[in-house]
A and B are shown apart, each in its own frame.
Chain A
Amino acid sequence: MIIELGHFALILALAVALLQAGLTLTGAARNDLNLMAAGRLAAMAQFALIALAFATLVHAYFVSDFSVANVAENSSSAKPLLYKLTSVWGNHEGSMVLWVLILAVYGAAVAWFGDAMPPRLCARVLGVKALIAIGFLLFILLTSNPFLRLSPAPEEGMGLNPILQDPGLAFHPPFLYLGYVGNSVAFAFAVAALIDGRVDAAWARWVRPWTLASWCCLTLGIAMGSWWAYYTLGWGGWWFWDPVENASLMPWLAGTALLHSAIVVERRDTLKSWTILLAILTFSLSLVGTFLVRSGVLTSVHAFAHDPRRGIFILVLLCIAIGGSLALYAWRAPTLEPGGVFAPISREGALLLNNLILASCCATVFIGTLYPLFLDAVGGPKLSVGYPFFDRTFVPLMIPLLLAVGIGPLLAWKRGDVLGALQRLWAAFAAVIAAMLIAFYLSHGGPVLSVLGIGIAAWVGGAAMVELADRLRLFRAPWAEVARRALAQPRASYGMTLAHFGLAVTVAGIAASGFEQQSIALLHLGQTLPVAGYMLRFDGIGKHEGVNFTADRGDFTLLDGTRVVAQLAPERRFFPLQQQTVSKTAIHTNLLADFYLALGDPDDKGGWAVRAYWKPLVPFIWIGGVIMAFGGAVSLSDRRWRVGVAARRAAKGALPVDGSRV
């Protein structure tokens, strides 16, 4: 009964979405405030209904109601509670419901904060979002309905793919979706602006917080996914250029470009049509990401089913959403007024360079990911892809971007002075040399590329610090003055410093992967294995029972001389329901380096294959991601405040007083 209620709520949500589209778009066209206000209520009602539908599905998983086909196919009664709940989005149908739920959350949030916005802009944004919701609700109800019953109900469910039964992955999809779907807000703003035919600084100020919010979530989601791959796949790699990973990277790159170009629109009233195009592309890439994963046009390890019927539906949705918005763009964008001019060497120029490089990176990933699909059109499949492709294309593109990221924030608007900026960056140069020498010394002359990578990371991080010190007039003004400036700085500029510093931390983590050391051996009880100056002792092996698996668990001690550093217990888990073995690695970290241990197969003479890695700085990869997302959040907290102030000041006819650069 409860699940039927959810089904009904979802159908009702579709009806409300239709109503919402009608109310808001007509209201905006006729400038009818009552219709537009009703449209905002509809957005909130739509959220309530989809939340109800989602809650009934969660309930069905919670009580393991196997009469619901979706539960029977994806859950089982003997499973930890956490994974019963995360199974809701561990499958195609449930994840689509989560998708529309998040869409509705953003819609309701736009409606909620809509008071401060021009009513027609708000109405059009909600109208566009309602159109997206209609498409995806139809998709769920017609091709991917999770509310269907099974009769007779099976005794036991088929369980969740064991590789997905992991805390890291439990919260990875929600964050990823918050990021993907959050891009729909910027998209809706872009389409609304095209309908309106007007893009100005106020528009950019409205669109930026939403873009920031989804960017933060996407950053966290990608970091979580990569961390999961690192400790689950038992391989020690953290990025595989897998189509599904690339699908999340593309909107991230486009979204990062959008964040930066929106600054130019806000501050200098230029690059408008490019920003609009980026907003459309960012969401389009999010949709393509969904499409790539769900339709089965690409093969991947991810656990979603292949179904061409869904693929066709999604392709039609994509064509309408992307094709429609790009057609609107082709029609209306030329009418947007061009804004202020600027010299190539200027803050705008640097941001444009950032955009061009990020867009190129994004195109590279796009081509590499869709390469298997492109092949049979060009006839001669004479290319190869995989990490060799990305290493040779993506990485060289990132280097100029990372070099520029240090200089850009120090350039003035309109016309900048590169030499002056470089002079001010002497401390960053010193940091680069020091970091490279230290890396070279500690790694005993390790790989040149890794040492250079550490140097680039020091450049980005050092320049971020120099820029902050410059703004605060640190060491140049009296301390009281510095403190006053520190308090007066807008949070957005701290956000930028944090985000750029986080980028430096991530780059350092990536660069240091060249310094890793590894040992692989067949160990017998009591034997030791030297790894990177430590000794690993094999103390024992035993059977271990989990809720829904049995495991071989090894006991290892990591020794530094005679001092015990850590006890490690890697496992090989066997899931009888799925007949699948999953490696559970043991990782000891001190946040500066990881000691990574995976248990392999036994031989028949009591020996066990053991792979041990010492990975310096590898935690920095994810710590940097978290710092970036935190920087975004700090900037966001400023924006929300400023949005209100800007609106109030504008009402008084005054311009916002503004010391920020971001």
Chain B
Amino acid sequence: MSWRRAPYLLPLIAFVALAVYLSRGLAPGYNPELLPSALIDKPAPSFDLAGLKGEARLSNQAFADEIVFVNFFASWCVPCRAESPVLMDLARRDVIVLYGIDYKDKPEDAEKFLQQYGDPYRRIGVDENGRTAIDFGAYGVPETYAIDRTGRIRWRHVGPLTADVVTKEILPLLRELGAS
């Protein structure tokens, strides 16, 4: 094989690498929405964010002695719209304490988003440059974390929450954490 042929092999090599890579996502039992977090059972990263619409700042000091859920969202994120009815339902039924982190978003857009789809959050922090999302190791939006009374991350969900996730994961998790 001469070197002249080498460039013609590049597309094939790139494709094989990609295929091997993508196939991991389809391995049995792999669910992209159940990606484990390196931070599971570790203390939640500390943050201190400006509040939305001039509300008080949001930091993890606010989470003392409570089981809280932190939901990363953005007005430009389409799956966030899909999950908003589920979040609204949780908020209406008062099942969980939910804080929102508005990820890489213009605050005025976020306000419009909440006006249209409803505001399920107790309070919202604005993560305009995405630093807090990086600290949490968030893959994108929407993403939801559960933090226990001691401030440790106990659960993580990538992608929109569904009614199924609520009954199969969130409610059992609440029972487990409530019991301990």
Contact = CB atoms under 8 A, between A and B. Distances in A.
A311 B26 contact: yes
Contacts of B103: 384, 386
Contacts of A322: 15, 19
Contact of A386 (B12, B32, B74, B116): B74
Interface stretch (A220-228, A373-381, A416-424, A618-626): A373-381
A334 B118 contact: no
Interface stretch (B50-58, B76-84, B144-152, B166-174): B76-84
A352 interface: no
B78 A384 contact: no
A277 B8 CA distance: 9
Interface in B1-57: 4-5, 8-9, 11-12, 15-16, 19, 21-23, 25-26, 28, 30, 32-33, 35
Contacts of B112: 520, 611
Nearest to B9: A330
B11 A598 contact: no
Contacts of B8: 273, 329-330, 333-334
A386 B25 contact: no
A609 to B, nearest CB: 6
B159 interface: yes
Contacts of A241: 76
A298 to B, nearest CB: 7
Contacts of A319: 19
A240 B11 CA distance: 29
B76 A386 contact: yes
Given A301-B78, A319-B19, A611 B116 contact: yes
**Interface size class for chain B?**
35 or more
Given A295-B26, A323-B15, A372-B32, A240 B139 contact: no
Give the 10 A-B CB pairs with smallest separation, nearest first: A299-B159, A326-B12, A384-B130, A297-B25, A330-B9, A311-B26, A334-B5, A330-B8, A333-B8, A387-B76
Interface string A355-399: 000000000000000111111110001101111100000000000
Contacts of B26: 295, 297, 308, 311-312, 315
Nearest to A244: B78
A295 B26 CA distance: 8
Given A281-B11, A298-B32, A301-B79, 6 more contacts: A237-B76, A299-B79, A323-B15, A384-B103, A384-B130, A598-B116
B165 to A, nearest CB: 12
Given A299-B159, A330-B11, A333-B8, A373 B22 contact: yes
Contacts of A611: 112, 115-116
B81 A233 contact: yes
A604 interface: no
Interface in B53-88: 74, 76-79, 81-82, 85
Contact of A240 (B76, B115, B160): B76
Nearest to A284: B15
Contacts of B77: 386
11 contacts: A280-B11, A300-B78, A308-B26, A315-B19, A329-B12, A330-B9, A373-B32, A381-B138, A384-B133, A384-B134, A601-B118
B141 interface: yes
Contact of A381 (B9, B23, B116, B139): B139
Contacts of B156: none
A301 B76 CA distance: 13
B78 A240 contact: yes
Contacts of B5: 330, 334
A301 B19 contact: no
B154 interface: no
Given A297-B32, A301-B81, A301-B82, A327 B12 contact: yes
A620 to B, nearest CB: 22
Instruction: Say whether chain B's binding surface is mostly helix, strand, loop, or mixed.
Output: helix
Interface residues of A, number: 57
Contacts of B160: 299
A230 interface: no
Contacts, number: 118
Contacts of A297: 22, 25-26, 32
Interface string B76-109: 1111011001000000000000000001100000
Contacts of B28: 308
A114 interface: no
A372 B19 contact: no
Nearest to B27: A308
A330 B19 contact: no
Interface in A265-300: 273, 277, 280-281, 284, 295-300
A374 B22 CA distance: 8
A616 to B, nearest CB: 19
A312 B9 CA distance: 25
Interface in A303-332: 308, 311-312, 315, 318-319, 322-323, 326-327, 329-330
B173 to A, nearest CB: 21
Contacts of A330: 5, 8-9, 11-12
Contact of B32 (A240, A273, A299): A299
A470 interface: no
A560 interface: no
B178 interface: no
A273 B8 CA distance: 9
A323 B12 contact: yes
A242 interface: yes
A375 B139 contact: yes
Given A301-B79, A377-B21, A323 B16 contact: yes
A235 interface: yes
Contact of B116 (A234, A237, A375): A234
B104 A386 contact: yes
Contacts of B85: 580-581
A600 interface: yes
Contacts of A318: 19
B52 to A, nearest CB: 15
A318 B26 CA distance: 14
Contacts of B140: 371-372, 384-386
Contacts of A598: 116
B21 A381 contact: no
Contacts of B79: 299-301
